[in-house]
Structure 1
């Protein structure tokens, strides 16, 4: 076996890309190109890394399918870090099957872990969890163990399971420390801060306070009627009414819940929900229609009673009422939630993760850019978007699981 190739591979495994480059920097054979690509990725030159890996994959002969598959996996990992959620990363399944068929359990398991990370990023929580469950964790490379548990923690965060997230972060930190790589330990430590950060605001009557993830979980498990403005859902215990697709109905429910146990004047509802500066008979007629629809939607969870000046909520069984809102609200909060992870996103990747059209995301990014909340760099297809990390930004609550693809 080539001693320089072996030495470079060991250096990369130890997190020392400069030592690896010293051994293979002047070589142009496919194995050396692949190792140089991985070294450049570790040094942060992702564009150069992808070019080197593609050259390596083209240079391997027709009988070297396992080596080409390894290059595919390495390029897919770079694409994932670059938030290129289409393209190279979509061929991971084929590469994973090739590696498994050739007995490369470690790289096959690593490819499965990368697939789980992508599924988490685009909101396919069930599929991501299934992928993690199917992985051969004993075969995972040591460095990948912390990433595996970070994916598990991300799923728990998005599902608002505080204890499961805490356990997964603890396992991720232990795995990171076992590698002896300070950068990995720092990454996991930073990610775990999400547990202590404010996850939402509780608005109940005249009071308002910030909640962490565990408090949000406790609230959603209580019998209270909760108008969840983070996910566009009205909840009461296990019962859930998704209203994200009915913004007027949801806005009425939120306004009434925020005022409970008091009522809301008709003029205030018209101004706040319908954006009508002056209420006339047409506005009042529309309000009556929408209130009727709200009564029907709420069913046995709550009633809507007319008062002399407006309307009020009456939760079933005498339960309390609360509004669960993001810590900071504004236009395009879902886009900001993704950008707040500190990585550079393409507009197409944002659209895929949010389940909307690329043009919708582009309009949102232009608005955020004009407001100084998002920054772009690059040109053409290489354009990426970033923002400064927003302390306590509720990524886990603003990004609900997307429905399963048809």
Structure 2
């Protein structure tokens, strides 16, 4: 490495990206291109950074497999920042193997963390946890160790294992202090703040609302004598029994209405108006209501029944359980989208569809509603269009992100 490259590498290592660019901005050899790419990525110029890293990877020869693999890893991190979640992971997997084979464990660990972060964005908590278990923080640099513990804390938070999350955050803070990177310390503080912010609303029969933190939600999941109607993940829970209704919105809307009306009845006219969204019900709507109630009754038979009354329907939980509704802290049906967009990074429609497990057309309609409400905005045109939203500072978005809660 010549003196200019060495100086640029030292500047980048201490976080001075402007000084890095001063040394390599006029050079087009592969090492200089790689340094320019990672420096521009630090400045948020992701598209240009990606181009430079691809040029650098092509420029390294067959004998420079490690350098080429490092470029692939850096490009994968840029793709993650661009929320290009649909990109193939084959190249990154190959790069990890090359780095392991040629004795570069630090960059191999970093590559595995990129894969784990992608899994987290997609809500694949088990996959992320398994990847993190293969990396020993004690054998990593302080920066990598801090990131490992931060990701472990996020997995625990989204699984509602709050004691595990607190312990991981304490370790992350220790490693971040050793690393001396202010951005890492700020990120640790931001994740820790999620433990104290409102994560959901408890709505008791009659509509009385109580704000809950993540600890409160975790306690509610294991509270005996409760029939939990989880409005964040569209799940009904009673002890060891649970029924997922995420893909059956009509049935969940009926269960929600019945829980709010308990111990009384939910009137047929109100159910038809709220669930089927019609102001002029006819006999076809009443027939459909009977059909949907029959489906709901069959699904929840293990822990509750639905009784037809003179005026409507009433929920009758078994074992003297009390229905409790867990509602998202923000109104509207676009909670998961707002949670993803609130990280401040630009998302493509395809990435949002992949993360929320929905069709692109469904996501486009939801985004159009958010734009109308002033809660999202688009930048760019055509395939380059990306979506942004203001941060949601008053509560945590942990439980709004795509994932599924653990079984009680």
Query: How high is the TM-score relative to the length of structure 2?
Result: 0.93
**TM superposition shift of 1:66:** 0.8
Q: Structure 1 residues 130, 87: closer, same or farther in 2, change over 3 A? A: same
Aligned-residue RMSD, C-alpha: 2.0
| Matched residue SS, 2:229 | strand
1:6-405 superposed matches below 5 A: 6-87=6-87, 91-206=91-206, 207-223=208-224, 224-393=226-395, 395-401=397-403
Cα deviation 1:198-220 (Å, max 9, x = unaligned):
11111112321111111001001
8 Å CA contact retained: 2:199, 2:213: yes
Larger CA deviation: 237-246 vs 100-109: 237-246
How far is the alpha carbon of 1:125 from its aligned partner? 1.2
Say if 1:304 and 1:312, in contact at 8 Å, map to a contact too: yes
| CA deviation after TM superposition for structure 1 residue 266, in Å | 1.7
Go from structure 1 to structure 2 and tell me whether the alpha carbon gap of 1:260 and 1:394 turns closer, same or farther (over 3 Å shift): farther
Helix, strand or coil at the partner of 1:87: coil
Mapped to 2, the partners of 1:87 and 1:300 lie a distance apart of: 43
Aligned-pair CA distance for 1:309: 2.2
2:204 and 2:312 map into 1 onto residues whose CA distance is: 19
Contact 2:138/2:145, CA 8 A, preserved across alignment: no
1:297 Cα deviation after fit? 0.9
- CA 1:69–1:232 in 2, change beyond 3 Å: closer, same or farther? same
C-alpha distance in structure 1 between counterparts of 2:313 and 2:221, whole Å: 25
CA contact (8 A) 1:345 1:384 kept: yes
Cα–Cα, structure 1 residues 139 and 108, in superposed 2: closer, same or farther, change >3 Å? farther
Structure 2 stretches lacking a partner, 5+ long: none
Q: Determine if contact 1:229/1:325 at 8 Å carries over to the other structure.
A: yes
Whole-angstrom CA distance in 2 between matches of 1:250 and 1:61: 58
Q: Is the 8 A contact 1:328 1:393 kept in 2?
A: no
Q: Secondary structure at the match of 2:194?
A: helix
**8 Å CA contact retained: 1:109, 1:139:** no
CA distance in 2, matches of 1:400, 1:53: 31
Instruction: Provide closer, same or farther for how the CA distance between residues 142 and 7 of structure 1 changes in structure 2, counting only shifts above 3 A.
Output: farther
Deviation at 1:192, TM superposition (A): 2.5
Is contact 1:110–1:140 with CA below 8 Å preserved after alignment? no
Contact 2:336–2:402, Cα closer than 8 Å, also in 1? no
Give distance in 1, aligned partners of 2:383 and 2:293: 47
Counterpart contact for 1:301–1:316, Cα < 8 Å: yes
Deviation of residue 261 (structure 1)? Answer: 1.9
- Cα distance in 2 for residues equivalent to 1:360 and 1:274: 19
- Structure 2 CA distance, aligned partners of 1:165 and 1:136? 17
C-alpha separation between the residues in 2 aligned to 1:139 and 1:36?
29
Superposition TM-score, scaled by structure 1 size: 0.93
Structure 1 residues 20 and 89: CA distance shift in structure 2, 3 A: farther
User: Equivalents in 1 of 2:351, 2:247: separation in Å?
Assistant: 22
**Matches of 2:159 and 2:203, distance apart in 1:** 21
